[in-house]
Amino acid sequence: MLSNLKITFNLDGTGVYYDPFEPVHLDALIAWALMPLSEPPTRDEKPIDIPLPLGRWSIDGQWGWSASALFPEGPDGVDLRYWRKKFRQNRITLTKGSPNLMSGIYREYNTPMPLTLCLKMAAYAVGDRGRIEQILRKHVRFIGKKAAYGHGHIVSIDVEIVDHNYSLVKDGVAMRFLPKQDGIRLCRIRPPYWNNVDRVNCCEIGEEYRL
């Protein structure tokens, strides 16, 4: 049985590497958790649409899964950390030749890592509550990039039934990428979102949208 759901990811507060212009979509998380351990398609190779425990929507001849992007909920802030790698000069005698610090294994970098500081991230969906809860709690431990650095750690996940379907639109604004003929974003509307096949013009998340 499909229900209107709100999924809340309770975080440890250390910060999430979250891009509001390219947010994580809930259906992408579920698809990643269910994807078999096989070689993923290339960017220009047609992917296989695996069945997800979610409802479907259809707009202008296109279809997708009824699941929103993830959004920070409650008080939040921003922080800036750096992802660094430094060549150890005191170990240079152990190398041969001249180490190239601009590329290769000895490359140095000091990359900014903007973090969203929040205790919760939430998404909406239409789907099978029990199955979604089981998949997320079993497979999803972090949100966002740089999980290896300890960012975006999930403490617990709450899946609750709500009265309204906010998986596509809430308060008149888009909660995910949706087809729009004059939209300026060109992307897929179902996982994997990074793939180039079946891309269509879409609205921006947070843009006014009328179903």
Domain borders along the chain are 3-202
Quick check: 74 pLDDT over 90?
no
Secondary structure (H, E, C), 21-41? CCCCEHHHHHHHHHCCCCCCC
Cβ atoms of 64 and 18 closer than 8 Å: no
- Per residue in 3-36, pLDDT (tens digit) is 999 999 999 988 898 888 889 999 999 999 998 7
Average pLDDT for the chain:
88
Mean pLDDT for 59-68 is: 95
- pLDDT for residue 90: 64
Per the model's pLDDT, the better-predicted residue between 89 and 59 turns out to be: 59
CA distance 109 to 114: 16
- Per residue in 103-122, pLDDT (tens digit) is 767 777 677 778 888 899 99
Smallest CA-to-CA distance from 6 within 186, 133, 184, 174 is with 133
17: how many CB neighbours lie within 10 A of its CB? 19
- What is the band of 69 on the pLDDT scale with cuts at 50, 70, 90? very high
Residues 6+ apart with CB under 8 A from 192: 28, 31, 40, 41, 47
- Per residue in 126-139, pLDDT (tens digit) is 999 999 999 999 99
Per the model's pLDDT, the better-predicted residue between 104 and 202 turns out to be: 202
Span of 17-21, 54-58, 65-69, 191-195 with lowest mean pLDDT: 17-21
Cβ atoms of 209 and 61 closer than 8 Å: no
- What is the band of 198 on the pLDDT scale with cuts at 50, 70, 90? very high
Instruction: Tell me what percent of the residues of the chain surpass a pLDDT of 90.
Output: 63
Cis, peptide link before residue 75, omega less than 30° from 0: no
CA distance 181 to 168: 17
- pLDDT for residue 102: 67
